[in-house]
Structure 1
Amino acid sequence: MLPSVVPCSVFRCVAGLAGALLLAGCAIPDAVPGLDKQGFTPNDFDSSSMYVRRMDAAQADTCEAARRALLSQGYLVQAATSEMVTARKFYQPNPDTHYTVEMRVVCAPEGDNGERSSAFASAVQDRYVIKKVNNSASLGVGGLGSVSLPFSATDDTLVKVGSETINDAQFYSRFFQLFERYVRVLPMAEESPLHEVPMQEREALQRNY
């Protein structure tokens, strides 16, 4: 005799289906973009932006202050003009992860006389991980082509896995606070150009910056 099949109640069937859906939802990784995360921040194009500051300095002086501020924090300056400064800094929190932060400051003049300017700063963080690549050795033999040898080597290579604009308000607040300090000391630097100051006084002046 075949065993009898007891039909489940409506409540039990619904509960089982809900549990299965819940487990399926929990199985979705948070790191996968586009599933439940927006590709932009709702605060984009806000009138009060953390990426811009008004400076009481001319355009060229503002960019020079930005260059000095970035240099003082260990950034490697890639390009510096009277209109824009680009610099990078590298981080390695653990042996398998590597970060690169690229900071860009654009200086725009304001007013008729150009004595004031706006500084627009943005930083992009790129994330890399170390991947191991197996390389097998091969030997070219005339008339036979290439012959694979039973030797292999493993090389480590950095693979870019993510890139994102830094939107931490505290990060930009600290940068602009340091930035404004260098803006304030620029007139002193203009009154005493470094190339006209003796070596000992020049080194002391640079330390004060």
Structure 2
Amino acid sequence: MSDSTPTFDPIVQSQASKEVTANAYFDAASPATIFGRRQSTTSGLTWGYYGGRWLVDSLLSIITNGTVTLTASTTNYVEATRAGVVSKNTTGFTPGSIPLYAVITGAATVTSYTDYRIPNYPVCGRTVKALSDANYTLTLGEALPQILEFTGALTAQRNITVPLGAQQWTVFNNTTGGFGLQFIGATGTGIVVGMGKRAIIYADGTNVVRVTADV
């Protein structure tokens, strides 16, 4: 957003062709609209969304505008894969997916919706996750920061499933109980980081590998 001194060209009440200025705003802000609700194609139980340019493993991909068919009289969880493929289910956001919207439907129409979209680029800061003594799959939002810390009391070694797209993290196994955490993708091989240890790990698209030894 602009500050009290705006950087945007203002729309003046008396000006002609206000739509030209407004459309220029929308054009400038269009990268932020990807996967956003597209009103012109949303009707009844059809949910429309905008496409745009999307980073898939550091490569720009073009996502086209599209629609998904919602299920009546329930909560629909609209989500996307890392490759930008949009779908919905009525159970909950899939671990590792990109949450988009939770859409509540009646018998024939949408009654309300909540926007869960997040940027798809690495962010500063860290994720701190308290484990419930079970394997865990990171959501895309949890995997975006490049520092990952895990707490909780473990009774066995647990798996932390990370996205397999090319990404590097500094991880800290700050759990108790004396057990390691295995960082692994949905497929391929992983590596174990001991309790109280830190390591730099890397997902290469197939496996999770260790960049540095535990410290």
TM-score normalized by the length of structure 2: 0.21
In terms of fraction of residues, the more helix-rich structure is: 1
Larger Rg over CA atoms: 1
